[in-house]
Amino acid sequence: MKKFTIAIALFLSGLAAQAQTKSVPTQAAAEAAEQESLAKDYLSQIMGVAASATSNMKLFHFVYDWIGTPYRFGGSSRKGIDCSAFTKQLYSDVFNMSIRRSSRDIFSMVSPVGKDDLKEGDLVFFKIHSRSISHVGIYLGNGRFAHASSKGVAISNLDEAYYSRYFYKGGRILDSFKNEFSASASSDEKFDEKPTN
């Protein structure tokens, strides 16, 4: 009788262990689904388009995850980031592509694109109180773009008076530059000079 009781106890403990093991991926899947749902809802509210309209949810997940991160000149972390570092990080994580560190250097890697021809994932460049390029963001569609502004990582509208005034050009990374640069910026690369609104 004692052997039978021990066998039952071992069997039940085995079932419990299996259930606990199964609950981990199930919980992770539920959290992932919730995160995707939140990202889609945010996309719909901010972008004014259905989530199904985007061809790259990974892009929007990345932006959603970084929204609200503070701006810091020369920064490249969650504690603070500037526009070119944000763009560089996005291109690395979303497109598996390494790009240069400053907005001006990034512009040297692109083929110019007109405002009306911008596509999801293209870059948008601005000359803000400067004769040279001083700000960069990533185009999302429907006139919206993601960037690290002086108020932190945000989604803005190209048609807003401020950004419309200082918009310079759109750009698409040239094939010849893809995968050419190392994943980390070299120590002598310059940061962007001015934050934007």
Task: Work out the number of other CB atoms within 10 angstroms of the CB of residue 143.
Answer: 17
Closest CA to 104 of 120, 119, 76, 126: 126
Rounded CA gap, 188 and 130, in Å?
22
> Whole-angstrom distance between the N-terminal and C-terminal Cα of the chain?
77
Helix axes 2-47, 57-66, angle to 10 degrees: 90
Interacting residues of 70 by C-beta distance below 8 A, sequence separation 6+: 79, 80, 81, 152
| Residues tagged active-site | 83, 135, 147
- Whether the Cβ atoms of residue 139 and residue 187 lie closer than 8 Å to each other: no
Structure tokens at 97: 């592509």
Tell me the sheet residues that pair with 77. 80
Judge whether 110 and 172 are in contact, CB under 8 Å.
yes
